[in-house]
Each structure stands twice: as structure tokens, then as C-alpha cells.
Structure 1
């Protein structure tokens, strides 16, 4: 109970501070965020990673962070920093939901359709469902970590899969943002966007494809055994 109360208090404090000092607006203002990170130099790397962690843990609107990373640091470094921060933030959220604030999370979100669908998806498809929802944002991304914390999935498995499945989108968004900033919008860039979208769609299809094969092989093994 003490842990739950501390967690609730932390959420309330951060939420109030975010509104009071304009942090929510700041995180969604790409130009301002870019300027601040540039002014900090090397320290900006740590600040960017910390922002990514805070966004994940406190469910703040950080959908532009990968874009900011690409604008400020370029496609490769911006994508790498985004993956590092988002992965750490997702893992912390998962641990908080599973071991510290489980009762609060269940009370707050347990009856939501997102939680119910994720629970059902993991039960029926296992890890492949996590891979699919990480590659394709069919559910609000920030809340997924807390939702998966309610399933039997381990921290190690969740962290590793989250990291690997964050790589494509993070680098694609950062790269595209960098390209727009340096070269502007062009036919070539639109073509690259199309190719990137097709690749992400194919990546999202793979877990389902492999899941069917694994289930079939498992059934055959049990039958022969």
C-alpha cells in the first residue's frame, strides 16, 4: 500500500508540474526542444534520453521525440538515442507496473479495452503479439508497457523484444526528419517514405507468420509424442 501511494503521489506531482511549468507543451514543441538540446551540447544526449524515459514512465505525449532526435542529431545518432531512451523508459514502466504499482495500474486501467485486448492477445499468441503491437501502434504506445506488466511475461523478455522492435520505427522517423531538415520534401523522399511504410508493414506481418508455424510444429510434436 505504501508503494502504491508513493507511486500515485509521484504521478500527481509530475502531472501538476508538467502543466504548471508547460512541460507538456514543451515536449510537443519541436522547434523549442531542438534549440534547447542544441544549446546543451554533449549534455543534450543525456537530456534527450532522460526525456524519453520520463515520457514513457509518466505517459506524456512524446510522439515527436524521434523526429526531434533526427532534426537535432541526424538520422543515425537521433535514432540510436531514441531507442536507448524509449527502451529504458519502457522497461522501467514495465517493472513499476509488475512489482510496485500493480494494484493501482489494475484499478486505473484494468477495465479498459486496451488492457483486455493485450491480455487476450498474449494469451492466444504469446510473444508474437508483443512484437506485432510494438511494430504497429494499434494501441496507445505509452500504455502498452503497463498493460504487458499485467501478463506473465518476464522483464528480460519484454525488455529485449521492446528494444529490438523499437529499432525500425525509431531510425526511420529520425532518418526522415533529418532528410527533411537538410534536403526538404522531394519526390525521392516521398518514395523513401513509401518504402519505409511497406517495410514496417512486412515486419508487422512476420510475428503472425512465425506464430502460425510455431503453433503448427508444436501441435505436430505433441501429436507424435
Structure 2
């Protein structure tokens, strides 16, 4: 094969690869903004219907929800009622981490222009928190009240936040919120002393983390 044929072949493969990437990204974006989460009772029955593999299905559903504007509250509550505080927190946290990472890379592949059009009113807030963000700024964005998961995921990817800082901050900052929601679902299903202690402790940790993150953000803004 001569160089011209190799070049043509390479160009063809590159074009096909690019078109496939655009198609996948478009499909994921459409799914992200058009999928509706079932009601808690329906979601619970759906997961139980898969028997021993239900926890895998739950993680997959949570990951898909985490890349959409739908809050991750409902699957976290269902995890607590189905699996208890410990296993439920592990499954819910795993799904959130996977979904957050997927959203991050989805935005990196899509680019800033389209991503920030999708973010809408959240775009300005995300830029304020995440422009040149490191680990602490990412933690602050995760913990700030009123700022959902999905715009943080997309914004971090679009703005080129370091992947390791993104993953580490998401890991650390998501723990209190996930445990508090799962514990609430577990306590609603079983009002045991253990579930009550975890519930109160987790929500206290959420409040403290939120206060610390707000103080950090306010001090950083004053320094600038």
C-alpha cells in the first residue's frame, strides 16, 4: 500500500471514529436530559426483581441518574431501605462516583460551548467555583448547598479540571451526603438504634462540612 492509500485509509478510519464519537456523545446527552427516574416503590420493586444481581442493577441506575439533572436522592433512599446503611452506602456511593466520572468525561469530549449551553442557569455558578479549581475548590463546589451534582460534573470536565483532583474531591466530599441519605432510607425502613445514630451523625457531618466549605469559599472570595 502506497503512502497515499495509507493516508486515505487513515483519514477514513479517523472520520468514522469521529462520527461514532459524536453519535455516542449525542446519545448520552439526550439520555442525560430525557430519562425519568421511577418512583421509589417502583424502583425498589425493579431492583428486587433482578434477585442477587439487583445490587449491580442499582449501581448502574444510580450511575445513569448521576449524569442527568435528576437528583440522586431517590436511589440513595432506596439503597438504605433495601440494603441497610453499610451496604447501601457502598452501592450508592459507587454509582455516584461512576456517574460523576462519566459526566466529567462526557463534558470534556463535548467542549465548553455546548456544555455550558446545557448547564443553563448553573453555568455562571460553576465557572465561579471551578475555574482553575484544585482539590479544595472541587470539595467546596461539591458541598455547597443548592448546587446539584450534575453541573459540577459537567462543569469540571468542560473547564479542564484535573481528573485526579476531580475524582479525589468527589470521593471525599460525596461521602457525608450519600451516607446521610442512605441512612435516612434505612431508618425509615427500620427504626433501630444503630440506624438512628448513623442518621444523626451523618447529618451533623453534612452540616459541618457544608459550613467549612462555605467559610473556605467566602475567605477565598475575599482574598481575591
Same fold, judged at TM 0.5 (above): yes
> Of residues 183, 187, 192 in structure 2, which corresponds to 1:179?
187
TM-score, reference length from structure 2: 0.75
Q: How does 1:65-76 map to 2 (within 5 A)?
A: 65-76=75-86
Deviation at 1:67, TM superposition (A): 0.2
Q: 2:137 matched to which residue of 1?
A: 129
Q: Is the 8 A contact 1:131 1:162 kept in 2?
A: yes
> Of residues 42, 46, 60 in structure 1, which corresponds to 2:52?
42
Q: Is the 8 A contact 1:97 1:150 kept in 2?
A: yes
Q: 1:158 matched to which residue of 2?
A: 166
Q: 2:10 matched to which residue of 1?
A: none
Structure 2 runs not aligned, ≥5 long: 1-17
Hey, what's the Cα distance between the residues in 2 that align with 1:15 and 1:208? 29
Aligned pair 1:82/2:92, yes or no? yes
Q: Is the 8 A contact 1:134 1:162 kept in 2?
A: yes
Hey, what's the Cα distance between the residues in 1 that align with 2:52 and 2:145? 31
Q: 2:110 matched to which residue of 1?
A: 101
Q: 1:221 matched to which residue of 2?
A: none
RCO (CA 8 Å, sep 6+): is it higher in 1 or 2?
Answer: 1
Q: Is the 8 A contact 1:125 1:211 kept in 2?
A: no
Hey, what's the Cα distance between the residues in 2 that align with 1:132 and 1:14? 24
Q: Is the 8 A contact 1:56 1:86 kept in 2?
A: yes
Hey, what's the Cα distance between the residues in 2 that align with 1:10 and 1:148? 17
TM-score, reference length from structure 1: 0.75
Q: 1:208 to 1:124 in 2, by over 3 A?
A: farther
Q: Is the 8 A contact 1:132 1:205 kept in 2?
A: no
Deviation at 1:151, TM superposition (A): 2.2
Q: 1:176 to 1:71 in 2, by over 3 A?
A: same
Q: 1:51 matched to which residue of 2?
A: 61
Q: Is the 8 A contact 1:128 1:208 kept in 2?
A: no
Q: 1:11 matched to which residue of 2?
A: 29
Hey, what's the Cα distance between the residues in 2 that align with 1:140 and 1:211? 17
Q: Is the 8 A contact 1:71 1:178 kept in 2?
A: yes
Q: 2:146 matched to which residue of 1?
A: 138
Query: RMSD between aligned alpha carbons?
Result: 3.3
Deviation at 1:10, TM superposition (A): 4.0
Structure 1 runs not aligned, ≥5 long: 19-23, 216-225
Q: 1:163 to 1:139 in 2, by over 3 A?
A: same
Q: 2:156 matched to which residue of 1?
A: 148
Larger radius of gyration: 2
Deviation at 1:29, TM superposition (A): 1.0
Q: The residue matched to 2:73 in structure 1 has which SS?
A: coil
